[in-house]
């Protein structure tokens, strides 16, 4: 590689950072909580992955998802998952026209760019499986035909970590399909006072990107350089989770790939053309915290998993 090529990559990454900083500044108008949440959402969108938000009602999940779609300039749909939801309610299905004796496929709300799947764990397991299969394959099958979803298709799913009445928790194999999982948390006192006052008079959000611009940024994120030593480090960390006696379910190869993809996206978000160790470390909990299942402690207790991941990380040599 010539010396001009790295310079071009660095310049292009800096241009991408300016666009993404503009996205963040717009979103800051509707999101008054932890800025790290915005970074995680943008990492997921750039990496082409899906997001699981595990938090109580009323902390801004819907507002944040709508705002993200608005600023990115992409189409948005929302589905409220309930106990009587059928796969066709989300995916769509064929409708028979008796006049000419033909079937016509009617697309469901999943045919969009960004979909908010609200309280996904309230849907029956059959609906969950059909929905998550579409997330993985990027298409919907009906009557022997495959209907592709948007190339920008991104799911932001939510579930309440407190109320488990009439819910069907996502199995580990389905949780593994989410690139990141996180909690929004409560805003601080000053931000909450803003919500009660001047927040209501804030100017409307403006689109910073469009679908083509977002696709170009995704392609750019895939080209961010991951040094072989860092790739080996990710693999070593994943294998450590599978071999440790404290772990019942470790990181799958898909989980290792997701961490590498997310690290590339985070590097671009920070205007870099190559992944740094800090990118991997910063994303370890959001990308792997919902995948690792400890042998001890309450099931799906993220605090236990976080402590275990920290302990495992301390035992794996850092690349020099």
- What pLDDT score was predicted for residue 254? 94
> What is the rounded CA–CA span in Å between residue 244 and residue 293?
11
Domain contains 259: no
Residues of the chain with pLDDT below 70 are 1-9, 163-166, 199-202, 297-301
> What is the rounded CA–CA span in Å between residue 303 and residue 309?
10
Q: At what angle do helices 4-27 and 61-72 cross, to 10 degrees?
A: 130
- What pLDDT score was predicted for residue 154? 95
Domain contains 230: no
Domain contains 263: no
- What pLDDT score was predicted for residue 1? 46
Domain contains 218: no
Domain contains 65: yes
Domain range spanning residue 106? 31-209
Structure token digits, residue 145: 């035909």
CATH number at residue 96: 3.40.50.300
How many domains does the chain divide into?
1
- What pLDDT score was predicted for residue 237? 96
Domain contains 47: yes
pTM over 0.85: yes
Domain contains 195: yes
Domain contains 275: no
């Amino acid at each position: 590689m010539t010396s001009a090529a790295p310079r071009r990559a660095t310049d292009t990454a800096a241009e991408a950072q300016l666009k993404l900083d503009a996205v963040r500044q717009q979103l800051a108008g509707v999101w008054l909580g932890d800025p790290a949440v915005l970074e995680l959402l943008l990492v997921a969108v750039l990496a082409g992955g899906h997001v699981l938000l595990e938090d109580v009602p009323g902390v801004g999940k819907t507002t944040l998802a709508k705002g993200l779609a608005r600023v990115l300039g992409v189409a948005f749909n929302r589905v409220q998952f309930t106990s009587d939801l059928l796969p066709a309610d989300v995916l769509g299905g064929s409708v028979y026209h008796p006049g000419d004796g033909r079937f016509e496929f009617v697309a469901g709300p999943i045919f969009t760019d960004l979909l908010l799947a609200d309280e996904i764990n309230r849907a029956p397991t059959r609906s969950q499986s059909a929905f998550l299969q579409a997330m993985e394959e990027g298409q919907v099958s009906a009557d022997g035909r495959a209907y592709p979803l948007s190339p920008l298709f991104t799911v932001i799913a939510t579930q309440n970590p407190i109320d488990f009445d009439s819910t069907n928790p996502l199995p580990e194999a389905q949780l593994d399909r989410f690139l990141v999982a996180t909690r929004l948390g409560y805003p601080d006192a000053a931000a909450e006072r803003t919500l009660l006052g001047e927040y209501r008079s804030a100017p409307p959000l403006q689109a910073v990107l469009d679908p083509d611009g977002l696709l170009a940024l995704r392609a750019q994120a895939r080209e961010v350089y991951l040094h072989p030593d860092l790739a080996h480090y990710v693999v070593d960390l994943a294998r450590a989770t599978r071999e440790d006696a404290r772990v019942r379910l470790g990181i799958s190869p898909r989980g290792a790939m997701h961490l590498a993809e997310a690290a590339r996206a985070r590097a671009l978000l920070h205007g870099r053309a190559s992944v740094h160790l800090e990118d991997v470390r910063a994303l370890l909990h959001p990308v792997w915290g919902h995948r690792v299942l400890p042998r001890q402690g309450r099931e799906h207790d993220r605090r236990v998993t976080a402590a275990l991941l920290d302990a495992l990380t301390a035992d794996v040599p850092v690349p020099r």
